[in-house]
Amino acid sequence: MVISSSYIYSKGNLDVVKTNPANKINLKNFSQNGQIQIYQSSYRGSYTSIIRDSLRNAALGRKVLLIQFMKGGVKQGVDHAVKLCGNLTWARSSHSFDQYNSEALENNKNLKKSIHESTIELWNFCKRELQSGENDQIILDEIFLAIDMKIIDKDDLISTLENRFISGDVILTGTDIPKDLLLMANQITELRS
């Protein structure tokens, strides 16, 4: 018979294991958070393998949230997220920089403001989802570009990741990744052309 060290410790220190039912506290049981994975590339648009994997995970029954911060389109945004395979929620910004040329953005402050507000709305949605525990995997595509453009605050992302509740992995993609976030990652993958 093998006796574990915790068993030996508790037998010798009975005052440690005694409980008082009058002082009982209701504790919520949390499972361990998954890993933070970072996919880095020197150019945009190189993350098709991540999108493919998210579809495969959803088809296998995992609940997946795919957020594309810098892509958008007509009738998109948080309220018009696309559902695929029954388990994949794919959300994009209702307005994004990719929809307009740089000249149109420079000449239209209202359009630029609308894009910023749309991206922030998407980020606030992500924060709620990262803390809800309802997803098995969350992918934040091009979030580092949103940080680089000063739309999303880097410290807000770090704090949200530190306080997340998700049993699966959080995948972040981008080109210029802040060192603070690289240090948080469990896995870093560099994609090359």
Domain 34-191 in CATH 3.40.50.300? The answer is yes
State the pTM of this model. Answer: 0.76
Tokens of residue 131, six digits: 């803390």
The three-point CA angle 122-65-117 to 5° equals: 5
pLDDT score recorded for residue 20:
52
In angstroms, the CA 138 to CA 67 distance is 8
List the pLDDT tens digit at each of the 193 positions of the chain: 333 333 333 344 444 444 455 555 554 444 457 899 999 887 666 667 888 888 899 999 999 999 998 877 667 888 888 888 889 999 988 877 776 777 777 788 888 888 889 899 999 999 999 999 899 999 999 899 889 989 999 999 999 999 898 778 999 998 888 899 999 999 998 877 6
Tokens of residue 65, six digits: 């949230």
What are the boundaries of each domain within the chain? 34-191
Three-state SS at 111: helix
In angstroms, the CA 20 to CA 43 distance is 60
